[in-house]
Amino acid sequence: MAAGHTITIEQGEQHVRAVHGDLVLADSRRPLLLRETGSPVRYYIPAEDVRLDLLTPSGTHSVCPFKGTATYWSLPDAPDLVWAYPEPKDEVAPLKDHLCFYEVEVS
């Protein structure tokens, strides 16, 4: 990590849901909580708890110098709604096979 930049990942037990309109896109009680300098807490949800059948790969990619290359999925009315790091850097290896939404409900 760069000086002053930290990322921590911990196993959470919160109930996390990603909802868009009437669609429940993800529902999990086993998210990973990622805390990164300068960013809000992000909840990474195991792929098995995400309705991938409702999402379409978007072709968008972005590169994070700390996490690796992200790929994105979309809904017809919500581009790039969810992302994942298929081959995360070693420092954040637990993110593999987990997806993250911009907005989730946490209880």
Residue 59, domain member (yes or no) = yes
pLDDT band at 80 (very low <50, low <70, confident <90, very high): very high
Q: Is residue 37 a contact partner of residue 44, using CB atoms and an 8 Å limit? A: no
pLDDT (mean) for 1-16: 90
**The pTM is what?**
0.95
Residue 2, domain member (yes or no) = no
Residue 75, domain member (yes or no) = yes
Residue 3 pLDDT > 90, yes or no? Answer: no
CATH assignment of the domain containing 86:
2.170.150.40
Residue 29, domain member (yes or no) = yes
Q: Is residue 54 a contact partner of residue 29, using CB atoms and an 8 Å limit? A: no
Q: Which residue has the higher pLDDT, 15 or 2?
A: 15
pLDDT of residue 10: 98
Number of domains within the chain: 1
pLDDT above 90 covers a percentage of the chain that reads: 96
Q: Which domain holds residue 88?
A: 7-106
pLDDT (mean) for 33-46: 97
Q: What does the alpha-carbon distance between residue 70 and residue 98 come to, in Å, rounded to a whole number?
A: 11
